[in-house]
Structure 1
Amino acid sequence: MNGTPASHHVIPARISPVRISSSAAELDAIRPLLSEAQAAIGDVPALLDLAKTVAATAPKPGEGRTAFLWEILASVAAVDVAAGRVLEPHLDAAAILAQAAGLAADEGRDCPDFAGIHFDGAWGVFAAEAPGLRLEAKETGGCFELRGAKPWCSLAAHLDHAVLTAHVGDSGRAAFAVDLHADGVSFSDPAWTSRGLREIPSGTVHFDGVQAVPLGGSGWYFQRPGFAWGGMGVAACWLGGGVAVARSFAASLQKAADGGREPDQIALAHLGEIDRTLTALTGYLARTAARIDAGELSDGGAWREALRVRGGVATAVERIQALVSQNLGPAPLAFDEAYGKRMADLALYIRQHHAMRDDAQLGTLLLAGNTPW
């Protein structure tokens, strides 16, 4: 180890909000939520109840307080990465439903289907695909029915509703709202063996003639700027996990120094690098949130920015994990439950980022337009 105490336990990350741009007074409003999240760690029903409570007052992206929304997500993930993983899709579903309703209003449609959607219960968002599995939506008598299977449906058996994507003939994929308690919905055993996010298994859900409410049209789900905004909200959760790792590292170094063991130059250099990284990240997210709220990222440029944000956060957080792990050595991974859980949860969660494939997509978009530099 490099200047850190030879202890089996890492000092816990302090329970405090993650600041992106809000004032101290605004962030104080998050503190009771963080205490509740800490008390609910590992308790999925309690975390889902907490998500429902948060959704009642949390801002939606693009409505003027996007940075504060990301601070909520980051702060909860800093308490427990899995708690952030539960909260994020529920808030994303609320935003998607609001955006779909707004689209219908802009088009002058009464949209009676929306009258049947009540944002109560716990919601998920399922948009992943997998080889050999396909979910199709077919229009029958003016209604849509879902048939097939949807993979990677996190906590599906614990949820009440979901926003999901399904193939609509040859027109691509469209989004739908569906009742997960409806007849014709069944859940495969996830066979979840992961050491990360152990309380959040992701399995396959099967649909056999299940009615669903269309949200937007074919392609709308992926083309709307809210898709990019939601992707950046996921990155805010990754950031929160990285902040928690960094806080516990700094606290361990301080405890060692207080005990007479000053950290060496390598440990200090790593702490300095982590500080530079997090300061740059939070500053970038603050500017990006302000641009979203100003209407500057409401077109095709939103996804380019999301790729930058997600790639920058994922790379930085993985670097922070590597630096802290090198300094603290194997002991906390082997003996400290909170530290080991955080590292495993974060490692799996970040794999929602597709690394170089996402960078290749960003490069393609840049060649098709103007580079900002």
Structure 2
Amino acid sequence: MQAVTTSVFFDSTDAGISPWSSFLRAVPDAAGDVTALLALAVEAGETWPRPGEGRTQLLWELLASVAAIDVAAARVLEPHMDAIAILSQAAGTDTADQPPGEGVGASWGVFAAEAPGVSLRASRDGGTVVLDGAKPWCSLAASLDRAVITAHTDDGGRAAFAVDLRHPGVRCEEPAWVARGLREIPSGTVHFDHVPAVALGGTGWYHSRPGFAWGGVGVAACWLGGAVGVARDFRAGLLAGADAGREPDQVALAALGEVDRTLTAAMQYLVRTAARIDDGSLGAHGQSSWSEAQRVRGTVASVVERVLHLVLSNRGPAPLAFDERYAKRTADLGLYVRQHHGSRDDAQLGRLTLKGDCPW
């Protein structure tokens, strides 16, 4: 089956995304080639809109459209775009050193995960911040130029820093990456030995800024785009069967109808959220931006899980065994959506809701 390169539209118009049609046509050829995907990411970082600057919906449509073509491609592009946005946001603070040129021409990652027994610390060595220790879950670290990374600070908090991953004090472990999904994007532990870094905001800024929530929804847009790709595979399979004289039965049609309405509802939610980011109303009236981000992420994750269940159960084993693009797409998406932590994220939202951080 050929890759579908049409865009994912969250509303009825394609006027905004059309200038990037050639970019989307380049994604299938780059799929599976990390070097080519990183080159596309650098290009996107120089031309795509940033969240909160008036065209957030367009940014999410672009990310979703890439994911609908190849989930792993979006998994490469999204953190680079997030890093570029973080650098821009940090430049407007009083406590950030300015990274030169906001990293134009370099490939970036964002490493903010924590794990037991692994710690990265930031300290002052004269007038320079240096990083020592280790950071887990650093995707593609050996292939990237730079990263936005969080580290523990002497005041007991955490802060964000820009770091050159080509510095001789950086050592990337060979990841024991056995995943069947996102196979070209291994994540592993990176060690830092007195590596200079540039401060991006003060302690606590990274997680408290509105852009943290915006970036979290950008990831959800990628999940949703991946689900659209799976849904397109389902519809194409039904049409191919009908052309061969096998009309879809009521069960298949019911599944396709449910896929359509759940995807459409999630798209509409993203449209509303993007508009609220751009008009400044997200996080107003005593509600936090993060509580709404958790609602969006949880809703989209549920939609993705439902679409995967409906499509996988209706299409059966043959496409998983013999259709490479479809098998890759479902495996990639199944792993990517695990960035939502299910009931644990719902529990975090429940704590916020209990405090009154809710719209009802």
Q: Normalised by the size of structure 2, how large is the TM-score?
A: 0.96
Q: How does 1:83-232 map to 2 (within 5 A)?
A: 83-104=73-94, 113-115=98-100, 118-232=103-217
Distance in structure 2 (CA, Å) of the matches to 1:125 and 1:297: 24
Q: Normalised by the size of structure 1, how large is the TM-score?
A: 0.93
Q: Deviations over 1:236-276 (max 9, x none)?
A: 00001000000110111112122221111100000000011
Distance in structure 2 (CA, Å) of the matches to 1:320 and 1:195: 19
State yes or no: 1:255 paired with 2:257: no
1:163 match: secondary structure: strand
State yes or no: 1:315 paired with 2:302: yes
Distance in structure 1 (CA, Å) of the matches to 2:54 and 2:86: 16
Distance in structure 1 (CA, Å) of the matches to 2:86 and 2:259: 34
The aligned counterpart of 1:80 is 70
Higher relative contact order at CA 8 Å, sep ≥6: structure 1 or structure 2? 1
Code of the aligned partner of 1:321: L
Code of the aligned partner of 2:170: V
The offset of 1:370, in angstroms, is 4.8
Q: Which runs of 5+ in 1 are unaligned?
A: 1-10
Code of the aligned partner of 2:81: L
Distance in structure 2 (CA, Å) of the matches to 1:117 and 1:141: 24
State yes or no: 1:328 paired with 2:315: yes
Q: Deviations over 1:186-228 (max 9, x none)?
A: 1111021111100000011100000100100011000001000
Code of the aligned partner of 1:211: P
The aligned counterpart of 1:37 is 27
Distance in structure 2 (CA, Å) of the matches to 1:225 and 1:140: 31
2:190 match: secondary structure: strand
Q: CA RMSD in A?
A: 1.5
Code of the aligned partner of 1:71: E
The offset of 1:332, in angstroms, is 1.2
Q: How does 1:210-289 map to 2 (within 5 A)?
A: 210-289=195-274
Aligned pair in 2 of structure 1 residues 199, 239: CA closer, same or farther (>3 Å)?
A: same
Q: Deviations over 1:262-309 (max 9, x none)?
A: 111100000000011011011110000000000112566210111011
The aligned counterpart of 1:350 is 337
Equivalent pairs: percent with the same residue? Answer: 63
The aligned counterpart of 2:354 is 367
The offset of 1:30, in angstroms, is 2.8
Q: Which runs of 5+ in 2 are unaligned?
A: none
The aligned counterpart of 1:306 is 293
1:199 match: secondary structure: coil
Distance in structure 2 (CA, Å) of the matches to 1:122 and 1:178: 12
Contact 1:13 1:248 in 2 (8 A): no
Runs of 4+ in 1 over 6 A off after TM superposition: none
Contact 1:14 1:248 in 2 (8 A): no
Code of the aligned partner of 1:252: G
Distance in structure 1 (CA, Å) of the matches to 2:238 and 2:20: 27
